[in-house]
Amino acid sequence: MASPSSAPHLFLFAASLLLLSSSPATATDHIVGANHGWNPGINYTLWANNQTFYVGDLISFRYQKSQYNVFEVNQTGYDNCTTDGATGNWSSGKDFILLDKAKRYYFICGNGQCFNNMKVSVLVHALPSPPGGSGNSSDKSAAERVLDNAIGFTGYQLGVCGLVAAILMAPVWF
Ligand SMILES: *[C@@H]1O[C@H](CO)[C@@H](O)[C@H](O)[C@H]1NC(C)=O
Ligand SMILES: *[C@@H]1O[C@H](CO)[C@@H](O)[C@H](O)[C@H]1NC(C)=O
Ligand SMILES: *[C@@H]1O[C@H](CO)[C@@H](O)[C@H](O)[C@H]1NC(C)=O
Ligand SMILES: *[C@@H]1O[C@H](CO)[C@@H](O)[C@H](O)[C@H]1NC(C)=O
Ligand SMILES: *[C@@H]1O[C@H](CO)[C@@H](O)[C@H](O)[C@H]1NC(C)=O
Ligand SMILES: *[C@@H]1O[C@H](CO)[C@@H](O)[C@H](O)[C@H]1NC(C)=O
């Protein structure tokens, strides 16, 4: 039998699990071209227009790594199929790229296939602020947000954890 004093603890423990599981919506992995993957002759504008991208989502490229690759470029690179000044490049054949800023991203294939439509541009939207959220998450540096994603905790969740810890400790003080 549980002693009378442990009952509130069990209740609060269960309540804290519920709170933690009601975390903000999880990130989406947007697979470029869906089941067509990253290949020539596909209109990726149609693909991109059919989904909504939010900060923290991933975009992933699936392709034959012996044939293709991925470069992150600016609008000039996208329009003209040039990789000059590219800010990133990937070639694993299964690349997961974190979209950590609310902005328009441009990706192209760097081996000439950009001219066969291997280019995609996606507009990433800021997340709606979480209920009771305090800060403006766009104030955070990219590094902080990458860290948040790596740890899998948002400031909101950390706040909830602190609150729950305080509640759980409270009976000890009586
Ligand atoms: C791809 O589709 C978009 C939207 O319908 C269209 O504007 C664009 O011209 C198409 N691109 C090509 C290369 O066909
Ligand atoms: C748009 O997305 C829906 C659901 O994800 C899918 O059924 C549909 O085929 C997509 N359309 C295009 C043009 O990709
Ligand atoms: C990109 O191509 C356009 C014509 O399509 C040209 O006017 C412009 O100078 C090119 N920009 C660069 C940076 O090469
Ligand atoms: C894109 O980057 C190239 C090379 O760094 C630069 O010359 C060009 O002005 C940039 N274009 C835009 C739209 O920022
Ligand atoms: C690819 O990115 C790495 C850094 O991540 C850089 O050193 C390298 O020069 C890039 N390659 C090309 C072809 O831009
Ligand atoms: C967050 O801050 C940025 C710049 O500091 C601002 O542009 C943006 O509108 C703010 N967003 C909200 C939801 O307050």
CATH number of the domain that residue 112 is part of? 2.60.40.420
Given this model, what pLDDT does residue 128 score?
79
Return the closest-CA partner of residue 117 out of 81, 67, 75.
Answer: 81
Instruction: Give how many domains the chain has, as a whole number.
Output: 1
Specify if 88 maps to a domain. yes
Residue to substitute in 76, 81, 84 for testing ligand 4 pocket (most ligand atoms within 8 angstroms of CB):
76
Answer whether 46 contacts ligand 2 (Cβ < 6 A). Answer: yes
**Burial state string for 15-24 with b = 16 or more CB within 10 A and e = fewer than 16:** ebeeeeeeee
Given this model, what pLDDT does residue 136 score?
56
Using CA atoms, how far apart are residues 96 and 102, in angstroms rounded to an integer? 17
Weakest-pLDDT range from 9-18, 36-45, 116-125? 9-18
Ligand nearest to the CA of 108: 5
In degrees to the nearest 10, what's the CA dihedral of 161, 18, 173, 156?
A: 20
Given this model, what pLDDT does residue 26 score?
81
Specify if 62 maps to a domain. yes
Specify if 21 maps to a domain. no
Specify if 164 maps to a domain. yes
Given this model, what pLDDT does residue 127 score?
87
CA of 107 to the centre of ligand 2 (A): 21
Upper half-sphere CA count for residue 171 (Cβ side, 13 Å): 12
Flag whether pLDDT at 173 surpasses 60.
no
Given this model, what pLDDT does residue 19 score?
46
Specify if 2 maps to a domain. no
Given this model, what pLDDT does residue 22 score?
44
Range of the domain at 117: 7-16+26-128+140-173
Answer whether 84 contacts ligand 4 (Cβ < 6 A). Answer: yes
Specify if 133 maps to a domain. no
Weakest-pLDDT range from 76-85, 105-114, 140-149? 140-149
Does residue 62 or residue 160 have the better pLDDT?
A: 62
Answer whether 35 contacts ligand 2 (Cβ < 6 A). Answer: no
Specify if 37 maps to a domain. yes
pTM score of the predicted model: 0.68
